[in-house]
Amino acid sequence: MDFRLNEDQSALQAAARRYARERLLPLAAETERTGAPPARELVQEYGQMGFLGINVAARYGGLGLGNLEALLVIEEFAKCSAALAFPVFESCVGPVRAIERFANETLRQQVVPRVCSGELVVAVSMSEAQAGSALTDLTTRAEQRDGVLVLNGSKRWCSGGGHADGYVVYCRLSDEPGAKGIGAVYVDRHAKGLSFGAPEELMGFRGVPSSDLYFDNCALPLENLIVPAGGFRRLMEAFDLERCGNATMGLAQASGALEDVAQYIQERRQFGKPLADFQAVQLRLAEMHMKVEAARLLIWRAAVNAQHGLPDVLESSTAKCFANEIAREVCGHAVQLMGGYGYSRQFPMERRLRDAWGWGIAGGAIDIQKVNIAGAMLGRRFDQRR
């Protein structure tokens, strides 16, 4: 077992870090101020630089590298801004991977290469007003009629809602109750019958537009079926990779906060000496470091154990849950260590704390992950309804 990155991985990480610091850091504050997502030209630049679809197969326009390589880039980008990292996240671990894995060849060719080049952004729409943690209560439904799929219902909290070019929509595709009736379809943003709610005002995630989606007899070609009824388990398996991406977005808030604060405490002086000279500050710094390192190792283990496939549910849930928790803690400590400057909107630290919080709700709340972890540990499924 070797915990070091190889030469190519180190070079990719360094290139991503350099690009993020030079190109993205100057845009981060403006993204936060306006709430506007990264410009299309910028996303296409990511594609030209080889930062999209890193772990997507080369035949679909990706780089064909492993999951670890993708996560290395996501962390470096997200240290500067989660919003500016979001297209990388979507292209490497997001819903497009379900299309690459499960859809028919026509849809794959239509969508995946264009996501890898930055031409398309694809979002996932699972949650509904009455189906959050209880996702299998979802009621949005697609029926086959006259050679098309007709979609009706509404979705909530879609990151990318109103902005993305296409949506992977979880829906009922048969009369079977619960998970058995659930599959997924692809909906183009211009599909007739699709409309969007008002942009959400979230605590963080500025620069990641979010809205409800409404489907009113929205007609889709049959080849837009990604997974038929009965494929919910497969969708969740693909989601194990998204969990590693979610964990990395959270980790990046913590590791970025730690880098910034380590510098700050050496510069800021109180009582005639740098903050770093106080032992209480040293202990806090060490605790932050331990948590960041442990989270990264859990994420990397889940990724490396499935470099070209889908991570294990126990490893990915453990990584997500731990990274979600420590991201909140570490960013909270960093805000505290920067005193008034940590709490000021003029500096990025408070943004990190707000963004860190969201990753512990998005992609499955922390406590739900813990139920998944216990279930996987014991080889059981804990039915929350009984």
CB of 158 or CB of 303, closer to ligand FAD: 158
Please identify which residue in 50, 132, 193, 274 interacts with ligand FAD, judged by CB under 6 A: 132
* CB atoms closer than 10 angstroms to residue 365: 15
Helices assigned H by DSSP within the chain: 7-19, 25-34, 40-49, 67-80, 82-93, 96-102, 105-116, 232-267, 279-304, 313-337, 339-343, 349-359, 366-378
Shortest distance, position 162 Cβ to ligand FAD, whole Å? 12
Closest CA to 118 of 189, 51, 37: 51
63 binds ligand FAD (CB under 6 A): no
Q: How many residues form the binding site for ligand FAD (CB under 6 A)? A: 21
Tokens of 361: 């709700």
Out of 124, 251, 257, 299, name the contact with ligand FAD by CB under 6 A: 124
CB 324 within 8 A of CB 369: yes
Residue 365 binds ligand FAD, judged by CB under 6 A: yes
Minimum distance, C-beta of residue 86 to ligand FAD, in the bound complex (Å) = 10
What residues are paired with 210 via a beta bridge? 159
Nearest-angstrom CA–CA distance, 19 and 22: 5
Residue 26: what are its φ and ψ, rounded to 5°?
-65, -20
Task: Name the segment binding ligand FAD (CB under 6 A); options: 17-25, 33-41, 121-129, 303-311.
Answer: 121-129
Please select the residue that binds ligand FAD; options are 126, 169, 241, 353, rule is CB under 6 A: 126
Q: Which amino acid is at 119?
A: E
Q: How far apart are alpha carbons 378 and 276 in whole angstroms?
A: 44
For ligand FAD, the binding residues in 169-198 under the rule CB under 6 A are none
Q: Rounded distance, CA 69 to CA 52, Å?
A: 11
Q: How far apart are CA 298 and CA 293, in angstroms?
A: 9
Residue nearest to ligand FAD (CB): 132
Assigned token pair, 185: 């379809």
Q: Are 55 and 72 in contact (CB under 8 A)?
A: no
Among 157, 167, 186, 300, binds ligand FAD (CB under 6 A): 157
* Contact residue for ligand FAD among 62, 209, 311, 364 (CB under 6 A): 364
Q: Are 337 and 284 in contact (CB under 8 A)?
A: yes
Site string for ligand FAD, 312-351 (x = CB under 6 A): ----------------------------------------
> Residue from 133, 144, 266, 270 that binds ligand FAD (CB under 6 A)?
133
Closest by CA position to 26, among listed 86, 91, 84 = 84
The binding track of 248-277 with respect to ligand FAD, each residue x by CB under 6 A or -, is ------------------------------
Binding status of residue 13 toward ligand FAD by CB under 6 A:
no
Question: CB of 99: closest distance to ligand FAD in angstroms?
Answer: 15
- Assess 125 for contact with ligand FAD (CB under 6 A): yes
Q: Is 87 in the site for ligand FAD (CB under 6 A)?
A: no
Check if the beta carbon of residue 358 is closer than 8 Å to that of residue 203.
yes
C-beta closer to ligand FAD: residue 86 or 102 = 86
CB closer to ligand FAD out of 144 and 384: 384
Applying CB under 6 A, the residues found at the interface with ligand FAD are: 123-127, 132-133, 157-159, 202, 205, 358, 361-362, 364-365, 367-368, 371, 384
